[in-house]
Amino acid sequence: MDAEIRVLVTGAAGRMGREVVRAVCAADGMSLVGAVDLANAGQDAGAVAGIGPAGIPIRSDLEGALRDAAPNVMVDFTIARAAQANVMTAIDRGVRFVVGTSGMQPEAVEAILHKAAVHGVAGAIVPNFALGAVLMMRFARVAAQYLPACEIVELHHDGKVDFPSGTAKATAHEVASGRGDAVGHARGLGGRGTEIEGVPIHSVRLPGLVAHQEVIFGGAGETLTIRHDSLGRDSFMPGVLLAIRRVVGLDRVVTGLDPLLD
């Protein structure tokens, strides 16, 4: 696409939404054309994001905003129960989507994949936009071939209500795939412990954290730890902008950032 990519952000008044507004407004080759949130409706999205007026008022009506703004891509950073409905609305209008909302259940993702395929709308559902996190998952898959014993510790800020994180689930899948024993199941281990595809995951929620993960492998007389730390939400923005640019050229929905890197 040679013309500017027209972007609408849902959850524009939230912590990640404000970061996306700032990033899109500063990026070459794209422009912010719409902003949706139940909070701060009527206020300028740029002002809410702390960059000064952008000329885009925050609206509470997604369908109306999609109709009036005519975006090429909708970026969703809301909450799980709202994200599916938002994406379904975008698909109905033929708008491509990039979803960073955490906590969507597998059946919600499957419903999105099915509807998008029926309507021929492309998109990306990404559990973590940090490029380093994508590399961590790649490295974990390789390590699992040689050190199959593995546990994951994921640590996030105390405002993150879902656990385990989408990144931890995706990493567990990569580990299981590397071991050759992906079985596609999950079970609770009590408290915040969960086992995904045979990989135990431990969740920590504390103030002062942003987003962190350790993938710990154990073998005879040795351990290997692969760790990634996001120290600020700006760490996710290069991945968000990459996804926006790549999704306009897709003919399907992809899950994760990894398929967009190649």
DSSP state string for 69-120: H--SEEEE-S-HHHHHHHHHHHHHTT-EEEE--S---HHHHHHHHHHHHHHT
Rounded to an integer, what distance in angstroms lies between the CA atom of residue 52 and that of residue 45? 9
Rounded to an integer, what distance in angstroms lies between the CA atom of residue 81 and that of residue 30? 28
- Active-site annotation holds for 157: no
- Active-site annotation holds for 160: yes
* Residue 146 CB neighbour total at 10 angstroms: 11
Go through the chain and tell me how many residues it has.
262
Spatial neighbors of 2 by CB under 8 A, at least 6 apart, are: none
Q: Which among 115, 157, 160, 173 is annotated as catalytic?
A: 160
* Residue 149 CB neighbour total at 10 angstroms: 13
Rounded to an integer, what distance in angstroms lies between the CA atom of residue 10 and that of residue 65? 10
Q: Which among 115, 119, 156, 157 is annotated as catalytic?
A: 156
Please report, for residues 1, 10, 124, 236, 259, the alpha-carbon distance to residue 5 in angstroms, rounded to integers and kept in the order given: 8, 16, 16, 19, 20
Rounded to an integer, what distance in angstroms lies between the CA atom of residue 96 and that of residue 102? 19
Q: Which residues are marked as active site?
A: 156, 160
